Structure 1
Amino acid sequence: MNNTQQYFYELAAFLNTRLQGNEQFTCWFSAEASDFVRFNRSVIRQPGHVHQMTLSLRLIDGLRHAETTLSLAGHLTQDSALCATQLSGLRSLLGDLPEDPYLLISQEVQSTEHIVPSQLPDSASIVDQILSAGRDCDLVGILAAGPVYRGFANSFGQRNWHQSANFNLDWSLYQNRDKAVKTSYAGLQWDAAAFADKFRNATEQLALLERTPITVKPGPYRAYLTPTALNEIIGMLNWDGLSEKALRTKQSSLRRMRDEQLPLHAAVNLSEDTANGIAPGFQSDGFIKPDQVKLIEHGQLVGSMISPRTALEYGIQTNGADGRESTAALALAAGDLPMARALAELDTGIYISNLWYLNFSDRANCRMTGMTRFASFWVENGEIQAPLNVMRFDDSLFRLLGDKLLGLTQERELLIDSESYGERRAGSTLLPGALVKDFSFVL
């Protein structure tokens, strides 16, 4: 048992001694020891290290509960005193709170431990490789690397621990004004050769940006979406699309798949793949997540994300989803298209590297709108001809991954959530690229 894990367990044991009467508690522990390095013009602009711990503490008495989140110092005596004070404050609130009819916490003790030893080199070594690769470019970006910890404990004696180390390098190579190539490289193990390949591909695209950009007329175009671009579209399903509660209340963007059996392409197989992601296999109510939850199988909606509250409300079984019923390890199965042949199979159309500013234009029909971003290109006869000026698309997932889908790539890319506001996230997606025969641009 490492020091951070032992500290959390000792803090949880202390909380047990402070309960009164029929009180119960749950607590969620989140910590990291992260190196952050910000780059601009291919030099280090802001290096730093963040070591932080937070605890979300919930006091429960019957069906009444109150919760608070506090920052910890990592010193057991000091933090125990802080927790005792916070516990007293929560206790003073319980009598004034209404009962929660949908409160459901795990009372079956299922303790787990998942520790992935760090495979990362020293951050200084990674930085040296980044600076060396970018010395002749205008590189801007941020590197986040280091261990991430998650823990759960309750008064029934359950203890869960998750620990892994990952890195996420999110960078762009600027050509001029708004012309740039945006790339990311993330994972559990730094591979110098893989990074070099990604950087070389980015510099090749950067050279293409020197060509005169073109604008195509609005309309449907054959298009290839990289895994990064597809991630923006698939990520919209976390806006209640796969939520069981949203499906039952008709708020889900995939409602028609449930109510009308509207299918996607048979090649679409989507799952919450916790076993192969970087997120913990447990959630804040103490429920254990299955290794895999099948969501869409051969184009048919076969599952959903079910939180404990939704399970209790509708008399069904939870599958360990969080309160938002969002995914944390979404995986789309690979297809048959070799990524090296993506341009050849595209033939004539649009190569889309990135999308951004996505929103729903018609949620009921899973219709989305957004903009192309950075290095997107016009392609003719399998060859990139010119960079494409920024355009807006408006299209439905039911089309893009339905009858308009031509193929998914054999290779998939692990994309780790780069959000670090407040704390580094422990979410990821594993996605192929997608070739579609009609991608609708509106301006």
Structure 2
Amino acid sequence: MINREKAKTLLEKVISLGTADEMSVRLGGGEEGLTRFANNQITQNLAFSDRALIVEAAFGKKVGVASTNMLDEKSLKEVVERAEIFAQASEVNPEYMPPLEPQEYEKIEAHFPATANFGPEKRAEKIKEVVEPCAGQGLITSGTFASGEAFSAIATSRGLFAYHKQTSADFSITVRTADGSGASRASQTDVRRIEDLDTKALAEKARERALASRNPIELPPGDYAVVLEPEAVAELLFFLFTSFDARSADEGRSFMSDRKCGGNKLGQKIVGENIDIRSQPGHPFILGRPFFSDGLGAREIAWIEKGVAKNLSYSRYWAKEKNKRPTGRPVSLVMQGGKHTTKELIKSIPRGILVTRFWYIRFVDPNEILLTGLTRDGTFLIENGEIKSPIKNFRFNESPVRLLQNVEGITAAEKVGSSVVPAVKAHNFTFTSISSAV
């Protein structure tokens, strides 16, 4: 992997080869190992190594971009020449923003040698530990285990240079019963420290849910009280924050547009007072990247506080137009947790549904963030505060805004990919039809 010093030398050299008015050069890459297993045995081991150089050249407001994964001197000259030829042939971009000057970044240590060096033999040992108990019960497992390291760097003709490296490990396991009537999946991604990846706990959750989901009953569609586990909540939050783009809101093209008074909904209460969500790239569960692809610093930003919209996502161009500070995208999301446990949330529901996760989520009405999708990997009827029976999967039609307006209970937050979110209890979640797929 290319270290900080070599990346800086290479990027400065690329900039020196250019004749454009402005240049921005990005370099990224890394190494990753991947182990696949199916039918209770390892089926494949792969190793990847890659790097990519992207050159953006500008003559005035005419911009061209070219890329290569060859880093010899001839290839560097060629990629710069291509970017400049493309720029000269391009139309003027009135919204072009020049490259950034040097920035201050949060220091985030996200590279851990134990993760980077976690090779195929160690991955195989971990897989064996979780597959053998399942196979002993006649269950069928499949999944993946990946580990590796990556880096990203950027330099501009205005003197900016930034470099970040990180490690990551991802594990996913699906467990099915032999007759196919029960199945569940559990996973964790973007884990920086390999010791934080609890493969046994993930496999046990998938095993328990697979056995518990056999022979599901059919419930009528309708509005139900729900307990959504953290993965289900995270999937809906992703769609919520697609509507936090300031330009779309200001131009009347999103949920965050104020169609009554004009402008946007900043300062308005949009969800329940018990909801706080922010970007926090340095959170110990996330350890995200300290800068975006253009070199803009990623920082802690409150998006929703006590249900009130506090910030929108401003690109550099739209921030200039509106005299705002640019924010970058809503990433590294952290939703504030509560004091309840999942068991306590379930116990408080006379009749409702426990949802493990969703999939195939699509927009029905982007302006209202109305979504449709399916439950998956274990959906259960709750009666009198206890899990009564597995149920067939539902299709839902619901908005994450309405969900967060109806939240009555929140657990402690936990890591889900590159976010930190809790499980929630909410009322009146709308299920519209039944799916017989397992």
Query: 1:48–1:178: structure 2 CA closer, same or farther, 3 Å change rule?
Result: farther
What aligned pairs does 1:18-417 form with structure 2 within 5 A after superposition? Answer: 18-20=17-19, 23-72=21-70, 76=71, 78=72, 80-110=73-103, 114-118=108-112, 119-120=114-115, 122-123=118-119, 124-135=121-132, 136=135, 137-175=139-177, 176-177=179-180, 179-186=182-189, 187-191=191-195, 194-210=198-214, 212-238=215-241, 240-255=242-257, 258=265, 261-276=268-283, 277-290=286-299, 292-319=300-327, 321=328, 326-402=329-405, 404-410=406-412, 412-416=413-417
Q: Secondary structure in 2 aligned to 1:274? A: coil
One-letter amino acid matched to 1:269? D
- Asked if the contact 2:314/2:326 (under 8 Å) is kept, the reply is yes
- Asked if the contact 2:277/2:303 (under 8 Å) is kept, the reply is yes
Q: Secondary structure in 1 aligned to 2:297? A: coil
Alpha-carbon distance between aligned partners in 2 of 1:359 and 1:16, rounded to the nearest angstrom: 42
- Asked if the contact 1:111/1:160 (under 8 Å) is kept, the reply is no
One-letter amino acid matched to 2:129? S
One-letter amino acid matched to 2:55? L
Name the counterpart of 2:436. Answer: none
One-letter amino acid matched to 2:118? D
Q: Once the 2 structures are TM-superposed, how far is the Cα of residue 16 of structure 1 from its aligned partner?
A: 2.7
Alpha-carbon distance between aligned partners in 2 of 1:117 and 1:361, rounded to the nearest angstrom: 40
Name the counterpart of 1:422. Answer: none
Query: 1:40–1:347: structure 2 CA closer, same or farther, 3 Å change rule?
Result: farther
Query: 1:164–1:389: structure 2 CA closer, same or farther, 3 Å change rule?
Result: same
One-letter amino acid matched to 1:15? V
Query: 1:338–1:105: structure 2 CA closer, same or farther, 3 Å change rule?
Result: farther
Query: 1:32–1:345: structure 2 CA closer, same or farther, 3 Å change rule?
Result: farther
Query: 1:9–1:43: structure 2 CA closer, same or farther, 3 Å change rule?
Result: same
Name the counterpart of 1:419. Answer: none
Alpha-carbon distance between aligned partners in 2 of 1:58 and 1:106, rounded to the nearest angstrom: 9
Alpha-carbon distance between aligned partners in 1 of 2:270 and 2:374, rounded to the nearest angstrom: 26
- Asked if the contact 2:32/2:47 (under 8 Å) is kept, the reply is yes
Q: Once the 2 structures are TM-superposed, how far is the Cα of residue 353 of structure 1 from its aligned partner?
A: 0.4
Q: Once the 2 structures are TM-superposed, how far is the Cα of residue 178 of structure 1 from its aligned partner?
A: 6.5
One-letter amino acid matched to 2:24? T
- Asked if the contact 1:170/1:184 (under 8 Å) is kept, the reply is yes
Q: Once the 2 structures are TM-superposed, how far is the Cα of residue 296 of structure 1 from its aligned partner?
A: 0.7
- Matched residue pairs, number? 415
Deviations 1:36-83, CA, capped at 9 Å, x for gaps: 1111112111210101001221012222211122223xxx5x2x3212
One-letter amino acid matched to 2:415? L
Alpha-carbon distance between aligned partners in 2 of 1:94 and 1:374, rounded to the nearest angstrom: 49
Q: Once the 2 structures are TM-superposed, how far is the Cα of residue 106 of structure 1 from its aligned partner?
A: 4.2
Q: Once the 2 structures are TM-superposed, how far is the Cα of residue 25 of structure 1 from its aligned partner?
A: 1.1
Q: Secondary structure in 1 aligned to 2:47? A: strand
TM-score by length of 1: 0.87
Alpha-carbon distance between aligned partners in 2 of 1:109 and 1:283, rounded to the nearest angstrom: 14
Q: Once the 2 structures are TM-superposed, how far is the Cα of residue 110 of structure 1 from its aligned partner?
A: 2.3
One-letter amino acid matched to 1:289? A
- Asked if the contact 1:106/1:287 (under 8 Å) is kept, the reply is no
- Asked if the contact 1:31/1:52 (under 8 Å) is kept, the reply is yes
One-letter amino acid matched to 2:207? T
In terms of mean alpha carbon deviation, does 131-140 or 196-205 score higher?
A: 196-205
Query: 1:9–1:436: structure 2 CA closer, same or farther, 3 Å change rule?
Result: same
Query: 1:177–1:386: structure 2 CA closer, same or farther, 3 Å change rule?
Result: same
Deviations 1:204-246, CA, capped at 9 Å, x for gaps: 2222123x211111111111001111111111124x3111111
In terms of mean alpha carbon deviation, does 153-162 or 276-285 score higher?
A: 276-285
In terms of mean alpha carbon deviation, does 353-362 or 195-204 score higher?
A: 195-204
Q: Secondary structure in 2 aligned to 1:352? A: strand
One-letter amino acid matched to 2:43? R
- Asked if the contact 1:105/1:308 (under 8 Å) is kept, the reply is no
In terms of mean alpha carbon deviation, does 213-222 or 86-95 score higher?
A: 86-95
- Asked if the contact 1:230/1:434 (under 8 Å) is kept, the reply is yes
- Of the three residues 423, 428, 431, the one matched with 1:438 is 428
What aligned pairs does 1:415-434 form with structure 2 within 5 A after superposition? Answer: 415-416=416-417, 428-434=418-424
- Asked if the contact 1:15/1:84 (under 8 Å) is kept, the reply is yes
Deviations 1:100-127, CA, capped at 9 Å, x for gaps: 2222234431265754331426233233
Alpha-carbon distance between aligned partners in 2 of 1:53 and 1:217, rounded to the nearest angstrom: 52
Alpha-carbon distance between aligned partners in 1 of 2:257 and 2:353, rounded to the nearest angstrom: 30
Alpha-carbon distance between aligned partners in 2 of 1:266 and 1:405, rounded to the nearest angstrom: 9
- Asked if the contact 1:114/1:163 (under 8 Å) is kept, the reply is no
One-letter amino acid matched to 2:213? L
- Asked if the contact 2:55/2:83 (under 8 Å) is kept, the reply is no
One-letter amino acid matched to 1:4? N
Alpha-carbon distance between aligned partners in 1 of 2:389 and 2:14, rounded to the nearest angstrom: 63
Alpha-carbon distance between aligned partners in 1 of 2:243 and 2:14, rounded to the nearest angstrom: 38
How much is the aligned-residue C-alpha RMSD, in angstroms? 2.2
One-letter amino acid matched to 2:358? L
Q: Secondary structure in 2 aligned to 1:125? A: helix
Name the counterpart of 1:425. Answer: none
Can you give the 5+ residue segments of structure 1 that lack an aligned partner in the other structure? 417-427
